[in-house]
Structure 1
């Protein structure tokens, strides 16, 4: 092993890794305030179709995770990052010049494929260079910035729109990608030695996939992750038409969105403490049932109020719901990955691909059902959280039986 292991943690390294990871959140959330003007300029017929601008990024990320999961182990970390940034730049240019919805969706899909590279490989770079407590410290610092990026992204998008227009948001993303790419090229060395690289093999991949399918508990956790992630994408698809369409929040939308993402970020932070007390299995199931229970109550109240509850009530509901959603992502990912230490790279790529593709389908359906009320959004949270709870329970039961038979 000849990986470079620095003796100390550089502030510049933290900033660079955080910037590369934040490209995903900025790409998705910075355009949310622009969906209305974008739909008008692109002559989008059905109003719900503009939500596909969000969904296609996630679909691209699902495809990209498979590409980079194999490429990074075979060709090195820097090659994978360069490819991701190059694809992201191409997608951003297509989106910038788009004059139809179809062209915009192509650009966004390419952005998703590209952004998956920096998002995925930065974790591998950190793992290459640090270990133990030092690695945990680096990851916590980088993830803190990453978690907070959805808070500021819509505010940045709104600010760019105020000063220029919605297309200039893509110029901002273009400049950001160029800066991060040049910075990475100049300052970050390769962290995977040539002798440690693993050549891609179709046979080994099929063998790895077969072993993953035999781990039934892990499969159920992946399905649960897809369901709860689908609820989250349904929220991302619906939040702009709900806030700006139903409640006429206009330029206040980014600030309201920021308050909701703070809840999600806070849950991710608290999970590291709560999981030590309750355990990942119990905590994930409790959180999924909490989302389902809160959403069912909110669904009844919304139905009584003809689908449009007071904004304060909706905000409290979303704040609480996103908190419990945030408790599930890390735990479900960890439990799905647990049996696959020997094939961690391939397993991570496949788990990310399958769960994200499921989530894109579910989240797109929720968004497309928007009808001028909050009922589709709340129904989506209710049903998808119940689905997640069902699969978590199935997985927990399998592991309980397995543990008792030892």
Structure 2
């Protein structure tokens, strides 16, 4: 039984990892793409934006379809289309075709993450659901850490086009595993009715569900804080503190391990400690970390003090994400696919808005990054208090 559980965790973790792999694996190839396709830096970055937009839209569409037609069929179709989109990226003749194909890759790759979370909700409840989401985050959390490293290694063996070929091969392996190892988890009597009107009614119901929205907003603002850190930390740590790219990579890896480690602590505590209590501790750690960064910027603290604050910020995400995700999904006995989709949309939209703000506000000092992170964390805690906290 345990072997089957771990096989499910690894497979669903790999499916949810399709999104971070799609986003991050080709990042080291930006200069090569710019050179070969004779494109500007902004156009190459547009290919990344296109994939993020595709992921956001794909979660809404595929999540809704999985509530109507079950989990397995939409998952197999989305992975198949992901394979095709990845091959198209590999043979893009110019930057505009690459942008279009990247949008399609994000759109179809979103099926893995939204249906993966929905399958877990179909199979588990209560603290067991929190434990399973924590395990998924362990597998998924390694993807954004390893993806750029894998991409850089592939560039030593092949061109940037080879990265997309590898992604398509990965898709083929996941499709085979999906066909033979994943069973349908949504019974026909639990499925929603087909049609745009019904889908809109489902999303309207979710938006009106106070506790669900509270947890969704908490997770969305936490994602915004994390995306701000990701987008601004390299400029701050390398530009202000003169860290080399290699040392910055080690610091980034340390913070990522804090996130993964805390997510596993959450999984261990689930069932022993009430999930809302874990969530409150996560908010506290986040606010201490964000406040530490603001103080550090004002007193021009040492690098170690700044790294300590960033470590608390990323580690708190490991406490907040699994619990807020689980508690939000626990409010939805039906329509888990749509609920998972809306959670994903909040994360990517809030993160997509917050990340550029760091650059707009300025990266010559730590203060703009610190203030944006602290503001997002405060809004996350406030959303929980106003909408989701138990009486």
TM-score with structure 2 length normalisation? 0.80
Indicate whether 1:22 and 2:21 are aligned.
no
Listed as ranges, the matches of 1:5-404 within 5 Å are 9=4, 12-45=7-40, 47=41, 50-98=44-92, 100-128=94-122, 141-216=135-210, 218-238=212-232, 249=244, 255-272=250-267, 276=273, 279-300=277-298, 315-337=307-329, 339-366=331-358, 369=360, 373=364, 375=366, 379-397=368-386, 403=391
Give the distance between the partners of 1:141 and 1:13, measured in 2 at CA. 11
Per-residue Cα deviation, 1:17-74 (whole angstroms, up to 9, x for no partner): 33222222222232233334434444443x5665444443332221111112121122
Give the distance between the partners of 1:214 and 1:135, measured in 2 at CA. 23
Give the distance between the partners of 1:98 and 1:388, measured in 2 at CA. 40
Give the distance between the partners of 2:313 and 2:84, measured in 1 at CA. 36
TM-score with structure 1 length normalisation? 0.78
Give SS of 1:198's match.
Answer: coil
The runs of 5 or more residues in structure 2 that have no matched partner are none
| Contact residue 61 and residue 116 of structure 1 kept, 8 A | yes
| Contact residue 84 and residue 114 of structure 1 kept, 8 A | yes
Give the distance between the partners of 1:214 and 1:330, measured in 2 at CA. 22
The alignment covers a number of residue pairs equal to 387
- Using the TM superposition, give the Cα deviation of residue 14 of structure 1 relative to its aligned residue in structure 2, in angstroms: 4.3
Instruction: Give the stretch that moved more between structures: 168-177 or 200-209.
Output: 200-209
| Contact residue 268 and residue 327 of structure 1 kept, 8 A | yes
Give SS of 1:327's match.
Answer: helix
Alignment correspondent of 1:3: none
Distance 1:78 1:236, change over 3 A: same
Give the distance between the partners of 1:51 and 1:315, measured in 2 at CA. 28
Give the distance between the partners of 2:239 and 2:97, measured in 1 at CA. 25
Per-residue Cα deviation, 1:272-292 (whole angstroms, up to 9, x for no partner): 456727714522431342243
- Using the TM superposition, give the Cα deviation of residue 117 of structure 1 relative to its aligned residue in structure 2, in angstroms: 0.7
| Contact residue 59 and residue 341 of structure 2 kept, 8 A | yes
Q: Could you say what the CA RMSD is over the residues aligned between the two structures, in angstroms?
A: 3.8
Give SS of 1:199's match.
Answer: coil
Give the distance between the partners of 2:340 and 2:64, measured in 1 at CA. 10
The runs of 5 or more residues in structure 1 that have no matched partner are 1-5
- Using the TM superposition, give the Cα deviation of residue 177 of structure 1 relative to its aligned residue in structure 2, in angstroms: 0.9
Give SS of 2:21's match.
Answer: helix
Give SS of 2:226's match.
Answer: helix
Give SS of 2:156's match.
Answer: helix
Give the distance between the partners of 1:134 and 1:212, measured in 2 at CA. 23
